[in-house]
Amino acid sequence: MGSSNPAQAAAPARRWDTRRQEKRRRLDAVRHLADGAVLPADRLAEALESLVVSGDRVVLEGNNQKQADFLARALVRVDPERVNRLHMIMPSVSLPEHLDLFERGIASKLDFAYAGAQSLRISQFLQDGTLQVGALHTYIELYARLYVDLAPNVVMVAGYKADRAGNLYTGPSTEDTPALVEAAAFRDGIVIAQVNQIVDDPQDLPRVDVPGSWIDFVVQSDKPFYIEPLFTRDPRLVKPVHVLMAMMAIRGVYERHQVQSLNHGIGFNTAAIELLLPTYGARLGLKNKICRNWTLNPHPTLIPAIESGWVESVYCFGAELGMEAYTAARPDIFFTGRDGSMRSNRAFCQLAGQYAVDLFIGSTLQMDGLGNSSTVTHGRLTGFGGAPNMGHDPHGRRHATPAWLDLVDGGTDGGGIDPLARGKKLVVQMVETFQDGTAPTIVESLDAVEVGKASGMPLAPIMIYGDDVTHVLTEEGIAYLYKARSLEERKAMLAAVAGVTPIGLRHDPAATARLRRDGLVALPEDIGVQRAEATRSLLAAKSIGELVDWSGGLYQPPAKFRSW
Amino acid sequence: MGSSNPAQAAAPARRWDTRRQEKRRRLDAVRHLADGAVLPADRLAEALESLVVSGDRVVLEGNNQKQADFLARALVRVDPERVNRLHMIMPSVSLPEHLDLFERGIASKLDFAYAGAQSLRISQFLQDGTLQVGALHTYIELYARLYVDLAPNVVMVAGYKADRAGNLYTGPSTEDTPALVEAAAFRDGIVIAQVNQIVDDPQDLPRVDVPGSWIDFVVQSDKPFYIEPLFTRDPRLVKPVHVLMAMMAIRGVYERHQVQSLNHGIGFNTAAIELLLPTYGARLGLKNKICRNWTLNPHPTLIPAIESGWVESVYCFGAELGMEAYTAARPDIFFTGRDGSMRSNRAFCQLAGQYAVDLFIGSTLQMDGLGNSSTVTHGRLTGFGGAPNMGHDPHGRRHATPAWLDLVDGGTDGGGIDPLARGKKLVVQMVETFQDGTAPTIVESLDAVEVGKASGMPLAPIMIYGDDVTHVLTEEGIAYLYKARSLEERKAMLAAVAGVTPIGLRHDPAATARLRRDGLVALPEDIGVQRAEATRSLLAAKSIGELVDWSGGLYQPPAKFRSW
């Protein structure tokens, strides 16, 4: 038996359950307000004044779509004299209340991954000193830090239903909820869930998405939680140039590299690809050969491809408003629970989108001559959500697929493969050379560089780094950047498809012929794409109404998309 | 309203719930055997003959530690005439039964992430044609593919307890279970859990780790599931050379780069670092300055650092046999549930280890002159588990920490940072130049290259690629590879610390002076490490018995480690 260590004997007795004791203290403080695990809606702010303590790290769900808005409104109402200096951790800063917390002096620090409508106000608050930014994260690194150095004291989430023991049914918009809850439930944090309905009989819960033993309190909200239809693209707004680019993507990327599994961004370009599969793609004989397994939200524009039998599976980050009945009626395609409704899971879909798919294709607001891109522009600190995670080659991947192998150091055509070489995930940036015909997309220097400096960030907020981009696709052509043999060649390739932007104009037209001959750049005619064919008539659906038709009436678009 | 699409009208009526109907058919076929969700242990093989169908994709848990061994033994007993051609998907191939499935003709294809004791037999079966390997994955890409193109028909897992509705308590070894179950539960797969005990009253479940609505059947096993103590390193086997290398790691890597959050491999080198923090580290004044947040299994050798107040948090991939009472008694440090016992989660810990920590440090069996490494050697197809994921720089990361920023293209010392530069995760390979004093660790060419060819793999099974390695640390010194300005310089740096291996002997000794002067290589004396001090007396605990003492008797080592 070893000797007792002197260091240990000398140490003062230490408590090892301070978090647990503090949690118990807070729970005891609201016990008179609660009926077991059920908090009364009309005394929620009062309860929060005991459950949340100044200086706490507080996770507020703030997702890409689903919002714990009732809890946000209650938190804004606590007395800032009593609760202040909160460190808010939010996947998405989406509602005015999220920033009212700072204006009212309740919160002072913010870690987040995405801010859409609130991005302008964040920048202002940052300048005014009203708000301090911890860091801009991607979704999964934000979740990851909850388990490392940002352990939350309180986590507030939203679901459809709960029973009185706290068992939670999230509905199709499971999204970030399990990842956020687990971090607090297993580190003596407090978990509070708002739900649209509390059921008395546990049997009335359709299914359990998060067990009651992980959740401390549930509260029935005054109205259903807010959810934003972020992934609905009206086919009426798909332009012929999008059709042309979609044709090029299908022929010059998907067909060429045999892309089986993929993730699409939310732009009109990628919506056009989805709408072209059952028409242009079918004519090329590509059905069941490409685009079988998807990781993306239930895009309404994917309905025609699904109904035409193109799609084997769709695994979702989140849900999409109006797609509930459709996804429930297609369980062979979508992930659904025993109750029949969809389950999404952003943490796992991020894993899937990084480690299990051949291709990511997305768009950006600005790209520089090396392929670095960002959606951060002057005055707006938007963050990137999951784009940087989808838009890079995960070096931890070890399994091979045909598309991944096809990108081994210039491809496998030219003889044997270096055994120490690796395949690559396809990261495709699909951009029109100009935004709305006026501002160039491809620029000398990203606004993000200046925004980063002005905001005091250690590095510029780059969304996707150029060295992670394998293809750039514009209305001019495709630059196969993964084949570039030098930085200079990479620049020349990108310039060759940059049109009449400043970057494009600097390009030597004579060089394009060589780049095309070497297979480094392809114009539409090089890959058999007829520009004249690029019309809206190729779209499998030309309006939201036609998407509804394709779905057999199962897709129920939100009011703002109902124009017929 | 858009017009109805002709394509749709022409299509034959398609069923969209074939998976659900097939699942129902199978459940109905065993209903006479089951008591609700409870399968009888003595008729389990009979039930599996109805629940599993030839050609199915079957996930069998097969983890790094916890094994669904009772289910494995039952599956081996099914009639191969009736159930065959199974495609087994297993995080870890650990038990003889896992490969008996192939020998008996029940299974034919294998996707896996790690094989320890069974690696030799896998190689034999592969040569004999008894077994076909889908791919060698890392853990998280294996999970990820379950949600994309490897949707399982049946998932078999293990837990401590379940109630009769299938609610599952995993105990501290939650590990891969939630990630595996979710993939089937939400895609109309069948989920079967073996448990050590079925409780009649749901109140007798300590907590719920996986909700009953995700699980179809539970069965009480004949004996508790098998679990392997993989992460226990006996301090008696820590040699003075490990102490020297640990001193160098603490001074030349942890202190230099201000490493706050980290992941350790399981070697004696890293165990030595853990055991040196309360002694050598404390003397350097580094307590509360480095090594605060950890992502790793509950290593017994971390106990002295925890008890000395070095550690703020430990988030675990899995559990470790004997550490149950200790982790439960330290809830401020470890993640525990409302019941008080630990919860691990390999999927989330892999996320945390990639996206939220400053440093990974590990070891390998072979490394080449460029820093490529592999544990695959002749005749053994081991796989890599999670090492490639921990051992790379995730390009999707966007938040900064001091250590991460310190590795921006040569560090920040020399003036301003290029705003388009990125920080780097520290990936440290810590190897003795020779294995057991005879076989060189640093070699001309990895065995893995030949194994890859012999096994017909598209690429060699490299564990960690050289270009992902930022530091190589040997008993000779540290090569700061991230500072290399060329491939040649990188080679020279590595050779400078490669001792008397063939790679090391080729090195020009005169070059070392320049590399040391430029800060590219450091010998112990360059970083203030006294070789004479490197003795076992620096270890905070010198035996398992002393670890037990440090823990106040809470650590209960398995019998094989009890030698006092």
- Note whether A398 contacts B292, CB cutoff 8 Å: no
A106: helix, strand or coil: coil
Tokens of B344: 């691990």
Nearest chain B residue to A3 by CA distance is: B546
B235: helix, strand or coil: helix
Which segment of A8-12, A281-285, A490-494, A527-531 scores lowest on mean pLDDT?
A8-12
Task: Provide the pLDDT for residue A383.
Answer: 86
Which of the pair, A72 or A421, is modelled with greater confidence?
A72
Q: How far is CA B107 from CA B54, B78, B86, B350, in A?
A: 9, 11, 4, 29
A442: helix, strand or coil: strand
Task: Provide the pLDDT for residue B455.
Answer: 81
B471-473 and B478-479 beta bridge pairing: antiparallel
Q: How far is CA B91 from CA A104, B343, B349, B478, in A?
A: 50, 19, 15, 34
The minimal CB distance from B147 to the residues A137, A348, A389 is found for A348
Tokens of B564: 């006092």
Residues of A in contact with B149 (CB under 8 A): 260-261, 292-293, 312-313, 356
In this complex, is the C-beta atom of B213 within 8 Å of any C-beta atom belonging to chain A? yes
Nearest to B390 by CA among B338, B346, B433: B346
Provide the ipTM: 0.96
- Residues ≥6 apart with Cβ < 8 Å to B456: none
Q: What is the DSSP string of A544-560?
A: HHHHHHHTTT-----GG
For residue B513, the distance in angstroms to the closest alpha carbon of chain A comes to: 31
Question: CA-CA distance, A153 to A188, in Å (whole number)?
Answer: 8
Residue A207 has pLDDT above 80, yes or no: yes
Mean pLDDT score, A525-542: 98
Portion 113-132 of A in contact with B at CB < 8 A? none
Tokens of B114: 């790690």
In this complex, is the C-beta atom of A423 within 8 Å of any C-beta atom belonging to chain B? yes
Task: Provide the pLDDT for residue A1.
Answer: 36
- Note whether A209 contacts B211, CB cutoff 8 Å: yes
Mean pLDDT score, A268-290: 98
Q: How far is CA A305 from CA A18, A271, A287, A548, in A?
A: 55, 11, 10, 13
Residues of B in contact with A8 (CB under 8 A): 307-308, 549-550
> Residue B25: left if φ>0, alpha if ψ -120 to 50, beta else—which one?
alpha
Alpha helices of A250-339 — where are they, by DSSP H? 256-257, 268-276, 282-283, 303-307, 324-328
Nearest to A253 by CA among A518, A529, A484: A529
In this complex, is the C-beta atom of B151 within 8 Å of any C-beta atom belonging to chain A? yes
Say what angle helices B69-76 and B96-103 make with each other, to 10 degrees.
Answer: 20
Portion 502-531 of A in contact with B at CB < 8 A? none
Question: CA-CA distance, A271 to A283, in Å (whole number)?
Answer: 18
pLDDT along chain B (564 residues), means of 10: 46 87 98 98 98 98 94 98 98 96 98 91 92 94 98 98 98 97 98 98 96 98 93 96 98 98 95 98 98 98 98 97 98 98 98 97 94 86 90 95 88 60 95 89 93 86 95 98 95 96 90 95 98 98 98 96 76
A366-368 and A373-374 beta bridge pairing: antiparallel
For residue A513, the distance in angstroms to the closest alpha carbon of chain B comes to: 31
Question: CA-CA distance, A276 to A446, in Å (whole number)?
Answer: 32
Let me know if B246 is exposed, middle or buried by CB neighbors in 10 A (0-12, 13-18, 19+): buried
Say what angle helices A177-185 and A139-146 make with each other, to 10 degrees.
Answer: 20
In DSSP terms, which residues pair with A38 in a beta bridge? A35, A218
Task: Provide the pLDDT for residue A416.
Answer: 61
Nearest chain B residue to A342 by CA distance is: B186
In this complex, is the C-beta atom of A352 within 8 Å of any C-beta atom belonging to chain B? yes
- Note whether B355 contacts A420, CB cutoff 8 Å: no
- Note whether B136 contacts A421, CB cutoff 8 Å: no
Task: Provide the pLDDT for residue B5.
Answer: 52
For residue A564, what pLDDT band results from cuts at 50, 70 and 90? Answer: low
Nearest chain B residue to A542 by CA distance is: B2
Residue tagged 């969209």 (tokens) = B16
Which of A148, A293, A348 has the highest number of chain B CBs within 10 A, making it the mutation to test binding with B? A148
In this complex, is the C-beta atom of A337 within 8 Å of any C-beta atom belonging to chain B? yes
Q: What residue ranges define each of the domains in chain A, with the CATH number in brackets?
A: 19-26+33-220 (3.40.1080.10), 235-549 (3.40.1080.10)
State how far Cα B332 lies from the chain centre: 24
Residues of B in contact with A138 (CB under 8 A): 355, 396-398
The minimal CB distance from A188 to the residues B331, B352, B394 is found for B331
Task: Provide the pLDDT for residue A64.
Answer: 84
> Over chain A, what is the mean pLDDT?
94
- Note whether A458 contacts B417, CB cutoff 8 Å: yes
Assess contact for A223 and A84: CB atoms under 8 A. no
Nearest to A470 by CA among A461, A459, A481: A481
Which of B263, B420, B465, B563 has the highest number of chain A CBs within 10 A, making it the mutation to test binding with A? B420
For residue B437, the distance in angstroms to the closest alpha carbon of chain A comes to: 27
* Gyration radius of chain A's alpha carbons: 25
For residue B304, the distance in angstroms to the closest alpha carbon of chain A comes to: 8
At A369, which amino acid appears? G
Q: Which residues of B211-244 are buried (b: 16+ CB within 10 A; e: fewer)?
A: bbbbbbbbbbbeeebbbbbebbbbbbebebbbbb
Question: CA-CA distance, B364 to B386, in Å (whole number)?
Answer: 13
Question: CA-CA distance, A341 to A358, in Å (whole number)?
Answer: 28
Nearest chain B residue to A340 by CA distance is: B186
Task: Provide the pLDDT for residue B4.
Answer: 45
Task: Provide the pLDDT for residue B7.
Answer: 47
Q: Which residues of A60-92 are buried (b: 16+ CB within 10 A; e: fewer)?
A: bbbbbbbbbbbbbbbbbebebeebbebbbbbbb
- Residues ≥6 apart with Cβ < 8 Å to A138: A113, A384, A385, A386, A387, A388, A389, B355, B396, B397, B398
Question: CA-CA distance, A32 to A20, in Å (whole number)?
Answer: 20
Assess contact for A93 and A70: CB atoms under 8 A. no
Portion 273-332 of A in contact with B at CB < 8 A? 278, 292-293, 295, 304, 307-309, 312-313, 315, 329-332
In this complex, is the C-beta atom of B222 within 8 Å of any C-beta atom belonging to chain A? no
Residues of B in contact with A547 (CB under 8 A): 2
Q: How far is CA B140 from CA A50, B227, B385, B392, B468, in A?
A: 39, 21, 9, 14, 18
In this complex, is the C-beta atom of A223 within 8 Å of any C-beta atom belonging to chain B? no
Assess contact for A329 and B16: CB atoms under 8 A. yes
Phi then psi for residue B381, to 5 deg, are -105, 85
Q: What is the pLDDT of residues A427-474, one digit of tens each?
A: 999 999 998 778 999 999 999 999 888 888 888 999 999 999 999 999
- Note whether A357 contacts B312, CB cutoff 8 Å: no
The minimal CB distance from B332 to the residues A17, A182, A541 is found for A17
Task: Provide the pLDDT for residue A456.
Answer: 83
Residue A109 has pLDDT above 90, yes or no: yes
Residues of A in contact with B351 (CB under 8 A): 140, 143-144, 147, 347, 351
Instruction: Compute the count of residue pairs across chains A and B with CB atoms less than 8 Å apart.
Output: 365
In DSSP terms, which residues pair with A368 in a beta bridge? A443
